[in-house]
Structure 1
Amino acid sequence: MKCIINGKLILPDRIVENRAILFRDHIEAIPETRNIPSSGLEIYDARGKYVAPGLVDVHCHGGVGEDTSDANPDGIRKMSRALIENGVTSWLPTTMTLPLEELDAIFATLREARKESRHKNTWHGAEILGANMEGPFINPKKKGAHKEEYIIPPSAAYVKKHQDIIRLLTIAPEVEGGMEFIDEIHRDTDIALSMGHSAASYEEAMEAIQRGVTHATHLFNAMTGVLHREPGMVGAALSSKVNCELIADTFHIHPGLFQMVAKAKGKHLILITDCMRAGGLPDGQYDLGGQMATVSGIQCRLEDGTIAGSVLRLNKAVENVMRYTDLPIWEIVAAASLNPATAIGEDKRKGSLEVGKDADIIIADENFTIQKTFVGGNCEYAK
């Protein structure tokens, strides 16, 4: 049995002190410190730092020179190992808009990687929960960094062929066949549908939500914005109960909006990274979905100036929201753990410090720099 003591435990609705966490591969108890056994424990002293649930990144393309779209098993392993340094204990490797035969290869790779990642004694990194399919069923007018020549009309038959691995999928509801696609995928699968890379009007977005869309891909970016007579997709996302992704790097979204969005969305706010291959590497030029992107500081752009993903770390997103809002830390942490886990149906075992859940636990300092990361009860990273 392992035990973390002397930490400020971040629970879903508060911080508690003078309690310990007892765990093996699952959390077994959260007793008062004075009630823990006097022997037989492997003790970890948090020394007054935060103890929080492992973070869950449901939108991450790559990092440390690797990309999900490479369909390289070693690359997936390398990214998973790197993510635990950022406090991420589970994730959805995310695809770009590519030909379907290339997506076939990516999904085959991720099936095997997901199996591997469930064996905690041999897998040393963040657990793979499935895939996030971003494209190719998007609107060319809002393609962002996706390659236009690979954008195609939505195909429910193709998606259903891979429904065992796809957990989240982006669709532009206004494209031809988009609404019918939403109907079929919502009816026949458990895939969470996200609206994004879209020129949909407010009315079209609201219709998509009524038909089964539950998620919005990187709010504000690559979608119709808010105007007082045309609320757009952003207006529909903010005024409904859909889960809204936010890239809180202070570049994609002005930090002055963090508080407003968080207040509007509550438990439906999801912090993501949208990280690309360059994450964790020096400034320079990097491939993204078959196009070259230039990285300078926190900015990633294609040659024509289009914003192209990010190099954000999820624990840094937590820190940024801490800095620019007055939200309680447990709400901010939930936006990077429990909320994304809930959005993809993993909240029974991921996303919070609760008895019975997986022992995915992090220790972080006051700036949310990660000190230790436990995945399935194993200490996989120590600063």
Structure 2
Amino acid sequence: MLHGNVLTPDGWRLGELRWEEGRLTALPETPVTPEDNDLPRILPGFLDLHVHGGGGADVMEGGEALATVARTHARFGTTRLLATTMTAPDAEIRRVLGAIGDYLRRPSPDGAGVLGVHLEGPYINPGKLGAQPSHARPGVLEEVESLGRLAPIRLLTLAPELAGHLPLIRALSERGIRVQLGHTLGSYEEGVAALEHGACGFTHLFNAMSGLHHRKPGMVGAALAHADYAELIPDLLHVHPGAIRAALRSIPRLYAVTDSTAAAGMPDGDYRLGEQAVTKCLGGVRLADGTLAGSTLTMDQALRNLVHLGLSLAEASDRLSRFPADFLGRPDLGRLVPGAAADLVVMDPGLNLQAVHVAGRRIEGDPHVTDA
């Protein structure tokens, strides 16, 4: 049981929130304006659909690294996540997906729940790698299906302009795999065609994709003109606040991700991102040549950043919880309603994190507390 200002799909309610066996059973009914009191703000837990690492560990390491990543992000309010891979040789990807499959059968009891895999590459454009290693290649359905037998692939990023990818998008969509467009040099027209074939989102919008020009709208233009969903990294480093505001006005269910690396939750220093060596400094993570290489963002800071940009707390919460849950087709996550998972984030009026519950279980240890 928790008492405070509870954010429900029908607005803020004041009173007690209850759960049993990891599921919500009762919500308060009294409407409230949370700014009128100093009680905690109780929000749905955050869903991060793009996580490469955290706490010094990288998803591509497999094994115990996955538990470290899950525990680290839970400290910052993430209650569910997708373990996100890097472009790599086939044998390496198979090794990692096998490790993720093993982890899902014996998950850490004190971390965020891992919902499956976000396969970011290798089916991307070698001319738009960003921080991805140079192992890009076109995809084929049989290979994706083989990988999916090792661990459940919930989301897959690809470049739609590569040969054979439009029919691949349709086939993947028919099999329930969400397809996002990213690491792409594709045109506006190729982006629209991909959406017509079943693609349903864009990976780290604006980053590693053809940009918007008024006579050549590019992949960004396709997203702004046609997308219902897209992910974006709101660390205020990857995307200018003005571009974030433009995307918020254009894409109804724009949602936040961290694209976090092993450096998330860690001090400045040297870390790994797949086979790449990266350095954390000045709030960012970069390759030796200065290329941005994922982020150090955590979801509690993403929430504060969106509020700083002018969103209400309820609007910001939707973009960290309800919208990514809807994108995955999980109505039992990302909202506080009877029967939903008791995934909860408790914050003080300054939006400092006070407690995190995953399926009703409080994450042990001192919660991460950061100045608003």
- The alpha-carbon deviation at position 31 of structure 1 amounts to 3.2
- The alpha-carbon deviation at position 314 of structure 1 amounts to 0.8
1:96-135 correspondence to structure 2 within 5 Å: 96-117=86-107, 123-135=109-121
User: Residues 194 and 216 of structure 1 are in contact (CA less than 8 Å); yes or no, is this contact kept in structure 2?
Assistant: yes
| Residue type at the aligned position of 2:329 | G
From 170, 187, 212, the counterpart of 1:201: 187
User: Residues 319 and 367 of structure 1 are in contact (CA less than 8 Å); yes or no, is this contact kept in structure 2?
Assistant: no
Matched, 1:178 2:174: no
Distance 2:329 2:117 in 1: 13
From 227, 239, 244, the counterpart of 2:225: 239
- The alpha-carbon deviation at position 158 of structure 1 amounts to 1.1
From 49, 58, 65, the counterpart of 2:56: 65
- The alpha-carbon deviation at position 14 of structure 1 amounts to 2.2
Aligned residue in 2 for 1:190: 176
- When the two structures are superposed, what TM-score results if normalisation uses the length of structure 1? 0.90
Aligned residue in 2 for 1:36: none
1:359-374 correspondence to structure 2 within 5 Å: 359-374=342-357
| Residue type at the aligned position of 2:315 | E
Aligned residue in 1 for 2:370: none
User: Residues 316 and 368 of structure 1 are in contact (CA less than 8 Å); yes or no, is this contact kept in structure 2?
Assistant: no
Which portions of structure 1, spanning 4 or more consecutive aligned residues, are displaced by more than 4 angstroms?
A: none
User: Residues 249 and 298 of structure 1 are in contact (CA less than 8 Å); yes or no, is this contact kept in structure 2?
Assistant: no
Aligned residue in 1 for 2:17: 21
- The alpha-carbon deviation at position 370 of structure 1 amounts to 1.4
SS of equivalent to 1:162: helix
SS of equivalent to 1:10: strand
SS of equivalent to 2:123: coil
Aligned residue in 2 for 1:351: 334
SS of equivalent to 1:141: coil
Distance 2:245 2:13 in 1: 24
User: Residues 215 and 244 of structure 1 are in contact (CA less than 8 Å); yes or no, is this contact kept in structure 2?
Assistant: yes
Aligned residue in 2 for 1:319: 304
User: Residues 13 and 28 of structure 2 are in contact (CA less than 8 Å); yes or no, is this contact kept in structure 1?
Assistant: no
Aligned residue in 1 for 2:360: 377
1:141-290 correspondence to structure 2 within 5 Å: 141-148=127-134, 150-163=135-148, 165-187=152-174, 189-266=175-252, 268-290=253-275
- The alpha-carbon deviation at position 71 of structure 1 amounts to 1.6
Aligned residue in 2 for 1:4: 2
SS of equivalent to 1:28: strand
Aligned residue in 1 for 2:66: 76
Aligned residue in 1 for 2:34: none
Name the % identity.
35
Structure 1 stretch displaced more, 97-106 or 134-143: 97-106
- The alpha-carbon deviation at position 32 of structure 1 amounts to 4.4
Cα displacement string for residues 170-189 of structure 1 (whole angstroms, at most 9, x for unaligned residues): 010001222122122223x1
Cα displacement string for residues 139-179 of structure 1 (whole angstroms, at most 9, x for unaligned residues): 0111000111x111112111112335100000100012221
- The alpha-carbon deviation at position 260 of structure 1 amounts to 2.4
User: Residues 201 and 233 of structure 1 are in contact (CA less than 8 Å); yes or no, is this contact kept in structure 2?
Assistant: yes
Cα displacement string for residues 255-309 of structure 1 (whole angstroms, at most 9, x for unaligned residues): 223322222222x111000001111111122221212112112221111221110
Matched, 1:51 2:36: no
SS of equivalent to 2:176: coil
Cα displacement string for residues 5-55 of structure 1 (whole angstroms, at most 9, x for unaligned residues): 1x11122352222x211112100011348xxxxxxxxxxxx9612100010
Cα displacement string for residues 176-225 of structure 1 (whole angstroms, at most 9, x for unaligned residues): 222122122223x1100000000000000000000010010000000011
| Residue type at the aligned position of 2:229 | N
Aligned residue in 2 for 1:328: 312
Structure 2 spans left out of the alignment, 5+ residues: 31-36, 368-372
- The alpha-carbon deviation at position 116 of structure 1 amounts to 2.6
- The alpha-carbon deviation at position 321 of structure 1 amounts to 0.7
Distance 1:109 1:292 in 2: 22
Distance 2:263 2:232 in 1: 19
Distance 1:342 1:183 in 2: 20
Query: What is the count of residue pairs matched by the alignment?
Result: 357
User: Residues 60 and 274 of structure 2 are in contact (CA less than 8 Å); yes or no, is this contact kept in structure 1?
Assistant: yes
SS of equivalent to 2:226: coil
- When the two structures are superposed, what TM-score results if normalisation uses the length of structure 2? 0.92
